[in-house]
C-alpha cells in the first residue's frame, strides 16, 4: 500500500516536471535556477521571488513532496522503546497516534496526553475502576514501575516529535 502511494507521488512529481519543461519555462536560469535550487524548501520565500503562475507549479511540487515526507515520517518519526513497540504499538500506533497508514487501530490516540493522565488511566484499568478487558488483560503482567515507565515515555512523545521536526 505504502509503495503504491510513494509510486503515485513519484509519478506526479515526474509529470509535473515534464509539464514544466514542455512549457519551455524550466531552464531559463536566473529566477528559475533559484526555483530548482530551493526545490525542497517550504513555500515561504517563493511568493516574493517568483511570478504567481510559477508559484502554483511550485505549490504542487511542494504538496507532493510534503505528502512524501509525511509518509516517510509516519513510518518512524521519533524513537520509541522496544517495549512500547512490542506491547503497545500494535493497538495504539508506533507513535501513539492510534492509527497506522491512515487506518484506525483498536486503541485510542495516546500522543499528546500527559504522563500523569496516561498513568491514571493505566492504574484505573489495572485496578478495575475503568473497565476494559483488553487493557486489563494486558496490564496483569505489568507492575507499578512498568506503568510509570510507559506513562513517562508516552508523555514524552510530543517533545520527541518536536525535536525531530527541529532537526529536519
Ligand atoms: C490489544 C490492543 C491494545 C494493546 C496491545 C494496548 N492497548 Fe491500550 N487501549 C486499548 C483499547 C481498546 C483502549 C480503549 C479502552 C477504553 O477506553 O475503554 C485502550 C486504552 C488505553 C489508554 C486510555 C487512553 C484514553 O485516552 O482513554 C491508555 C493510557 C493505554 N491504553 C495505554 C496502553 C499502553 C501503555 C499499552 C502498552 C503497555 C497499551 N495501551 C496496549 C487497546 C490496547
* 59 vs 65: CA distance, rounded Å: 10
User: What is the distance between the alpha carbons of residues 56 and 46, in angstroms, rounded to a whole number?
Assistant: 10
139 Cα–ligand 1 center, Å: 10
Higher pLDDT, 74 or 130: 130
Q: What pLDDT does residue 30 have?
A: 57
Only one residue has cell 507549479, namely 57
Question: What distance in angstroms lies between residue 144's CA and the mean position of ligand 1's atoms?
Answer: 16
Alpha carbon of 122 to ligand 1 centroid (Å) = 8
Average confidence score pLDDT of the chain: 77
Pairwise pLDDT comparison (126 vs 77), residue with the higher score: 126
pLDDT digits (tens, 9 = 90+) for 73-94: 444 479 999 999 999 999 999 9
pLDDT > 60? residue 40: no
pLDDT in tens, 4-23: 666 766 666 666 665 656 66
Nearest CA residue ID for atom 33, ligand 1? 88
150 lines ligand 1 (CB under 6 A): yes
Separation between Cα atoms, residue 65 and residue 54, nearest integer Å: 17
Amino acid at each position: 500500500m505504502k509503495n503504491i502511494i510513494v509510486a503515485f507521488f513519484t509519478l506526479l512529481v515526474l509529470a509535473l516536471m515534464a509539464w514544466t519543461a514542455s512549457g519551455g519555462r524550466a531552464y531559463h536560469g536566473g529566477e528559475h535556477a533559484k526555483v530548482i535550487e530551493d526545490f525542497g524548501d517550504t513555500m515561504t520565500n517563493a511568493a516574493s521571488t517568483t511570478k504567481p503562475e510559477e508559484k502554483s507549479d511550485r505549490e504542487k511540487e511542494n504538496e507532493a513532496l510534503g505528502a512524501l515526507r509525511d509518509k516517510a515520517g509516519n513510518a518512524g518519526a521519533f524513537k520509541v522503546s522496544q517495549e512500547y513497540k512490542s506491547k503497545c504499538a500494535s493497538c495504539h500506533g508506533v507513535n501513539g497516534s492510534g492509527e497506522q497508514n491512515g487506518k484506525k487501530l483498536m486503541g485510542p490516540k495516546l500522543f499528546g496526553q500527559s504522563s500523569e493522565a496516561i498513568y491514571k488511566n493505566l492504574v484505573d484499568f489495572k485496578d478495575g475502576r475503568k473497565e476494559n478487558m483488553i487493557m486489563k488483560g494486558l496490564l496483569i503482567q505489568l507492575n507499578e514501575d512498568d506503568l510509570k515507565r510507559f506513562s513517562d515515555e508516552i508523555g514524552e512523545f510530543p517533545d520527541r516529535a518536536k525535536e525531530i521536526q527541529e532537526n529536519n
